[in-house]
Amino acid sequence: MRRYRIPFLPLVVLVFAIATAMPTLTSNPTLREELFLVFMLVTLASSINIIMGYTGYVSFGHIVFFGLGGYFAFYLMQVQGWHFLAALIAGAIPSALIALVIGIPILRLRGAYFALATVGINEAMRVVFNNWEEFGGAVGMFFNFSVYARYGGASQARDLGYYSMAAVAISTIAASYWIKRSKFGLSLMAIREDQDVAMVVGIDPSRAKVAAYVISAVFPAMAGAAFFFRNGLIEPGHAFELQRSIESLVMVVLGGIGTVAGPIVGAAVYEWLRGFLITNPTLASFQLSLAGLLLLVVVLFVTAGLVGWLRNRFPVLRSYIP
Amino acid sequence: MRTRIGAVALAVLGLVAAACGGGSTATPTASTAASGGATTQPAVTKTLNIGFTNSQTGAQQVASTKQTEGIKLWVDQVTKAGGIKLKDGTVLMPKITFYDDGSATDRVQQLYTKLINDDKVDFLLSPYSSGLVKAAAVVSEQNGKVMVTAGGADDATMEQGFQNIYQVYTPASKYLTGAIDLMLKLDPTIKKVAIVNEKDSFSVSVVAAAKPYAESKGLQVVVNQGYDTGTTDFAPFINQIVAAAPDAIIGGGHLVDGSALAKALKEKNVSARFVALLVAPPEPTFADLGDAAQFIVGPSQWEPAVKYSEAGAKALNIPYYGIAVDAFTSAYRAMFNAAPSYHSAGGYAAGLVLQKALEDAGSTDPAKVKAALDKTDIMTFFGHIKFSTDQKTHGKQVAHDMVYVQWLKGSDGKLATQIVWPPEAKTADAQLRK
Amino acid sequence: MSLEALVPSAIDGLMLGFVYGLAAMGLTLIFGVMKVINLSHGPVIALGMFVVYTLFTGPLGVNPYLGIAAALVIGLVFGVVEYLIAVDRVINAPELTTLLATFSVNLMIIGVATSTFTTTPRAVDVSLGSVTAGNITVLGTHAVAVAVAIVVAILLYALLFRTRIGKSIRAVANNRAAAELMGIDSRRMLALSFGIGTSLAMVSGALLSTLFPFNPLSGAGYEVKSFVIVVLGGLGNPTGALLGGIVIGLLEGVTTVFIPVSWVPVLEYVIFIAILLLRPSGLLGSRA
């Protein structure tokens, strides 16, 4: 149980709370849109960090849970008429169950095989939903606008989605923090370092890995529910977008894999960079290339990511930034 | 050393920047400025800000560019005429702001949010293609902005209870029903039909109406398959079609897949007496397919040879508004050095509809403009335009009709489109495919 | 659903399978030699398409089939350069690092390609007629694509099993440390293998450009298909990859007769996951 010199979690919650309130305080709707995206990315990056950073399993197709959560929540709201908040929580349950069911067999695989298997799962889900008429098939689902009336109108619904995403982001970070500080987190990191030795020491790797996988599946599911609620429409191509999954990996590596602050920093920097590049007229077409270049530089030279590098360079920071 | 400090600075900057970033000043692609004519107007001149996205890249590029050209022609003509003159003497000069959506749905949503919040546009026009129009409609409705759509025929979008969206195109459900009528008139012995369509909301809407209609006419649907958007390999579908030996084939989706399907049908020597495809055949570039294009029928929202006129308007007891058909075609040719397609006409028509509504409303107040749009019932070069005011289908197009074209070899041996249906609009007789 | 469509469909699928197999061979070779999953595989395939397109529509109007030869050479050079810049430094690092390194190249290629060519679909119009027998129509372009794929595969085998360089590559794949002890410059062999793998992917893309329309993002679908094929045939096993490609192509051709075409990928992914869980070494056994 590591003791940190500053109350990290309350600080993060405070920073997030201020950030969340900023758009209303400064009457800046564009900021709200950007922050919404940043919160979503923080959630995705943080959850991937739990399975990848702590446990060492590279979940390439992790976005599948984002899509599953989005679809189940959307279905509950559109077809069954549930309230958004109820659907948000409930949508995460099937996702967690699916994570449990597929996690058990595929977590037995190592390294590259596991990564490929997660890609297979994501693509398989995408094609299944593409053909499943109950969920809209290839055309997807889309809200009858009267659905928003329940929340007091479209803009109130939008704000509700925004605050929920902020809440989901904070809970993901909190979970990530508590795991890192706990004995459970220690067992995960032991598995990451050397699974066989971990078994010798008495850790049951399959239980720990599956638990980590399920936990890491819950938060993207909730983020998916909030995201698609805001969008008003969901399609298989966007729900299970492999590119987005890989982008979350990039954010984790950029920020610092295995740290709590890393995904936050990585997500913020990545989104800021992307936003800046997209709207800059000369650079917009090179946005992806520059992102790739940045990633290559980080991977080749700053492998521990920004936060990781900081912690390595200034060991005293280790007790300040988990 | 510097790079390390740079890395730290970047991290701190990142979090701070993300928290107070916002309000990015992007440069829009192009906007025709209100150059306010040299006329001596004692009245107030205001800029009418209109925003939309178009697909300068991506699968919808060709058609979307045509639609944008139509919009630009409208702006040009209004500007040259001195602006939109309201009853109280105010003159509105249209100024368009548009961005490239890359044919991607999430870009559409982000960009429309930007148009509304940052560029603070007064009214919106739509992107091209039903999928993108749907995404734009959601954002528009969420923010209470009035949007006149061209390029979006999908029925489902207009049945969601939107109150601020107005559809200029004939809905998808009417696309192929006329083709089936044409087919049965041309050859009543046709019995077996194969339906192969793209699985996107537009094509699915078309088929959802066409299939029951075909069956109600006694036809037997022997193949009914959908293909994913972006499919390039049509061999599996062709094989199924060949095995089922239908007399006719209908379906398709948009330009690229429609063209690929037509090409594959020719390459594999599929013998069907009647082939009707969506979107692709009316597009002038369809001729690039050469022999594969011959005899293919396509539904079109508008063709240069249509006969909408003042006389027709009088017969229906409604006013004729705006430019005449021939004038539109020649003005378009003069400005863009190419023939207009129905996408171009749709873009122009959307602007025209907005113009009439503004004139009727006498102001740019959204509520008044909406009321004016609800009352719209006019004949234009594009055809008869009227919107549904029913709560559930508010804004859906209820008066506009499709025409059907077929690629035929003229007496000079060159391929060209002829209007073959409905009978009162046709310029040539339809022929069976050989 | 009709058996009449079975034979032509199977033949179509089989022919495409050869082209898929060629691309998969490139991917599996790289994995077999250096345990790296090349995430730039997809964009490289798309690059192959654009090499042919640029040469064909450019001022020289180069015949697409000559363009394929150009793609082979360009692929080799590109692969070697990519290895030296992006992969060499982290060759011994854990998988995630090499995955992200190759993915960064993926992003860079797509970024440059989309800004140069935009995502507007392109096509290389080449028509070589067709041969019809009954209800089977074989297109000339497809037949030539199969022929080229087979020739390139044979060349690869000749290289790997009949030349000294091939032997060195196989030695490095087998045991890098021991190969170095035997005096083989492993870095050079790794770069060369990466180059060959990239070259195969590019040639596959070049062949595909003569068959279907494409844009810079078209590689993604073929990349995932390559993953499936590589796992099916056994990671690291080139013969397995070619056979896996043929199997998948045949599978696609046959199943489309019985089930709706959009369900076929579900079947492929189910097989993919099943193989990973039940027989990870693939049908022919992996050489990894």
- CATH of residue C84's domain is 1.10.3470
Handedness of CA B74, B76, B81, B86 (dihedral sign): positive
Task: Write out the two tokens for B14.
Answer: 């990142």
Q: How open is the CA angle C9-C14-C15, to the nearest 5 degrees?
A: 105
Q: How many interchain CB pairs under 8 A, A with C?
A: 125
| Complex-level ipTM | 0.84
The nearest CA of chain C is from the CA of A116 a distance in Å of 7
User: Dihedral, CA atoms, B104, B109, B115, B120, nearest 10 degrees?
Assistant: 170
Q: Letter for the amino acid at A107?
A: L
Is A131 within 8 Å of C277 when comparing Cβ atoms? no
C-alpha to C-alpha distance for B260 and B266, rounded to whole angstroms: 10
C-alpha to C-alpha distance for C101 and A299, rounded to whole angstroms: 6
Whether C287 is covered by a domain: the verdict is no
Which of the given ranges, B184-188, B202-206, B344-348, has the highest pLDDT on average?
B344-348
Is C101 within 8 Å of A296 when comparing Cβ atoms? yes
Check if B217 contacts C (Cβ < 8 Å). no
Regarding whether B193 and B102 lie in a shared domain, the answer is no
Q: How many interchain CB pairs under 8 A, B with C?
A: 75
Check if A109 contacts C (Cβ < 8 Å). yes
Fill in the DSSP letter of residue A195.
Answer: H
| B158 touches B167 (CB < 8 A) | yes
Regarding whether B266 and B162 lie in a shared domain, the answer is no
Check if C132 contacts A (Cβ < 8 Å). no
Whether C283 is covered by a domain: the verdict is no
Regarding whether B355 and B233 lie in a shared domain, the answer is no
Is A272 within 8 Å of B21 when comparing Cβ atoms? yes
Task: Write out the two tokens for B319.
Answer: 């006013």
Regarding beta strands C130-133 and C136-139, do their DSSP bridges make them parallel or antiparallel, or are they unpaired? Answer: antiparallel
Whether C284 is covered by a domain: the verdict is no
How many other CB atoms are there within 10 angstroms of residue B377's CB atom? 15
Handedness of CA B409, B415, B420, B425 (dihedral sign): negative
pLDDT for the residue numbered B15: 47
Residues of A in contact with C89 (CB under 8 A): 300
Q: Letter for the amino acid at A153?
A: G
How many other CB atoms are there within 10 angstroms of residue B433's CB atom? 18
**pLDDT tens, N- to C-terminus, chain C (288 residues):** 457 778 888 888 999 999 999 999 999 999 989 989 899 999 999 999 999 999 998 888 888 888 899 999 999 999 999 999 999 988 888 877 888 899 899 989 988 998 888 777 888 888 777 888 777 788 888 889 999 999 999 999 999 989 999 999 999 988 888 998 988 888 999 999 999 999 999 999 999 999 898 988 889 889 989 999 999 998 888 889 999 999 999 999 888 888 888 888 888 999 998 888 888 888 777 664
Is A289 within 8 Å of C95 when comparing Cβ atoms? no
Q: Which of C93, C106, C224 sits opposite A123 (nearest CB)?
A: C224
Is B201 within 8 Å of A232 when comparing Cβ atoms? no
Q: How many interchain CB pairs under 8 A, A with B?
A: 122
C-alpha to C-alpha distance for A237 and A248, rounded to whole angstroms: 17
- The range of the structural domain enclosing residue C250 comes to 3-278
3-class DSSP assignment, residue C130: strand
Regarding whether B341 and B220 lie in a shared domain, the answer is no
pLDDT-based confidence at B5, cuts 50/70/90? Answer: very low
Whether C286 is covered by a domain: the verdict is no
Regarding whether B67 and B146 lie in a shared domain, the answer is yes
Is B226 within 8 Å of C260 when comparing Cβ atoms? yes
C-alpha to C-alpha distance for C10 and C136, rounded to whole angstroms: 10
Check if C38 contacts A (Cβ < 8 Å). no
| B284 touches B338 (CB < 8 A) | yes
With a cut of 50, say whether residue B3 has pLDDT above it.
Answer: no
Whether B215 is covered by a domain: the verdict is yes
Q: Nearest Cα to A135, choosing from A81, A211, A73, A220?
A: A73
Q: Nearest Cα to B194, choosing from C10, C254, C2?
A: C2
* Alpha-carbon distances of C147 from B188, C152, C209, C229, C239, rounded to whole Å: 46, 9, 15, 20, 17
Q: Nearest Cα to B264, choosing from B232, B243, B290, B234?
A: B234
pLDDT for the residue numbered B42: 58
pLDDT-based confidence at B183, cuts 50/70/90? Answer: very high
Handedness of CA C208, C209, C212, C214 (dihedral sign): positive
Whether C285 is covered by a domain: the verdict is no
Average pLDDT for chain B: 86
Check if A130 contacts C (Cβ < 8 Å). yes
* Better-scored residue on pLDDT, B107 or A128: A128
Is C120 within 8 Å of B59 when comparing Cβ atoms? yes
110-129 in A: which are within 8 Å (CB) of C?
111-113, 115-117, 119-121, 123-124, 127-128
pLDDT for the residue numbered B24: 38
C-alpha to C-alpha distance for A29 and A13, rounded to whole angstroms: 22
C-alpha to C-alpha distance for B55 and C119, rounded to whole angstroms: 10
Residues of C in contact with B267 (CB under 8 A): 127, 130, 137, 139
Mean pLDDT, residues B385-410 taken together: 92
**pLDDT tens, N- to C-terminus, chain A (322 residues):** 456 666 778 888 888 888 888 888 777 777 888 888 899 999 999 999 999 888 888 888 899 999 999 999 999 998 888 889 999 999 999 999 999 999 999 888 877 788 889 988 999 999 999 889 888 888 888 887 777 888 887 788 888 999 999 999 999 999 998 898 888 888 888 888 888 888 888 888 888 899 999 999 999 999 999 999 988 889 888 899 887 888 888 888 888 888 888 899 999 988 888 777 766 666 666 777 887 888 888 888 887 788 888 888 888 777 777 7
Give the count of domains, chain C: 1
Whether B34 is covered by a domain: the verdict is no
Whether C288 is covered by a domain: the verdict is no
Q: How does C255-287 read in b/e, with b if 16+ C-beta sit within 10 Å?
A: bbbeebbbbbbbebbebbbebbbeebbbbbebb
Give the count of domains, chain B: 2
Q: Is the peptide bond before B422 cis (omega within 30 degrees of 0)?
A: yes
155-194 in A: which are within 8 Å (CB) of B?
155, 157-158
pLDDT for the residue numbered A279: 66
C-alpha to C-alpha distance for C122 and C209, rounded to whole angstroms: 9
Fill in the DSSP letter of residue A159.
Answer: H
Is B233 within 8 Å of C211 when comparing Cβ atoms? yes
pLDDT for the residue numbered A212: 92
Q: How open is the CA angle B216-B217-B221, to the nearest 5 degrees?
A: 80
C-alpha to C-alpha distance for B133 and B154, rounded to whole angstroms: 9
* Better-scored residue on pLDDT, B397 or A156: B397
pLDDT for the residue numbered A291: 77
Check if B227 contacts C (Cβ < 8 Å). yes
Whether B244 is covered by a domain: the verdict is yes
Helix segments in B157-309, DSSP class H: 177-186, 201-216, 235-244, 255-267
Residues of B in contact with A38 (CB under 8 A): 18
20-49 in A: which are within 8 Å (CB) of C?
none
DSSP E strands, B359-412: 377-380, 383-386, 403-409
Check if A302 contacts C (Cβ < 8 Å). no
C-alpha to C-alpha distance for A305 and A71, rounded to whole angstroms: 33
Regarding whether B199 and B287 lie in a shared domain, the answer is yes
DSSP E strands, B296-402: 296-300, 377-380, 383-386
pLDDT for the residue numbered A273: 80
pLDDT-based confidence at B16, cuts 50/70/90? Answer: very low
Mean pLDDT, residues B77-89 taken together: 92
Q: Nearest Cα to C149, choosing from C229, C68, C221, C212?
A: C68
Beta sheet of B165-167, edge-to-edge order: B84-85, B91-100, B45-54, B123-125, B147-149, B165-167
pLDDT for the residue numbered A5: 65
Residues of A in contact with B147 (CB under 8 A): none
3-class DSSP assignment, residue A81: coil
Q: Nearest Cα to C23, choosing from C254, C247, C238?
A: C238
The nearest CA of chain B is from the CA of A210 a distance in Å of 32
Helix pair C264-278, C238-258: axis angle to 10 deg? 140
pLDDT for the residue numbered C96: 79
pLDDT for the residue numbered B17: 43
Mean pLDDT, residues B32-51 taken together: 65
Q: Kindly report the backbone phi and psi dihedral angles of residue C114, in degrees, each rounded to the nearest multiple of 5, phi listed first.
A: -70, -35
The residue of chain B with its CA nearest to that of A270 is B14
pLDDT for the residue numbered A202: 83
pLDDT for the residue numbered A237: 84
Check if B3 contacts C (Cβ < 8 Å). no
Whether B72 is covered by a domain: the verdict is yes
Residues of C in contact with A257 (CB under 8 A): 96
Q: Give the CATH number of the domain where residue B184 resides.
A: 3.40.50.2300
Check if C269 contacts A (Cβ < 8 Å). yes
**For an interface test with A, which of C28, C88, C276, C279 has the most A Cβ atoms less than 10 Å from its Cβ?**
C276
225-264 in A: which are within 8 Å (CB) of B?
231-233, 235, 237-238, 255, 264
Q: How many residues does chain C have?
A: 288
21-60 in B: which are within 8 Å (CB) of A?
21-27
Whether C187 is covered by a domain: the verdict is yes
Mean pLDDT, residues B164-192 taken together: 93
Residues of C in contact with B232 (CB under 8 A): 212-214, 218
DSSP E strands, B55-122: 84-85, 91-100
pLDDT for the residue numbered B74: 96
Task: Give the bridge partners for C136, in sequence order.
Answer: C133
Whether C252 is covered by a domain: the verdict is yes
Is A131 within 8 Å of C260 when comparing Cβ atoms? yes
Q: Who contacts B2 (Cβ-Cβ below 8 Å, separation ≥6)?
A: none
3-class DSSP assignment, residue B121: coil
Check if B256 contacts C (Cβ < 8 Å). yes
Whole-model pTM: value is 0.84
Tokens 């998808």: give the residue: B172
Residues of C in contact with A250 (CB under 8 A): 100, 103
Is B26 within 8 Å of A281 when comparing Cβ atoms? yes
Is B240 within 8 Å of C132 when comparing Cβ atoms? no
Regarding whether B225 and B112 lie in a shared domain, the answer is no
- The range of the structural domain enclosing residue B163 comes to 45-170+307-386
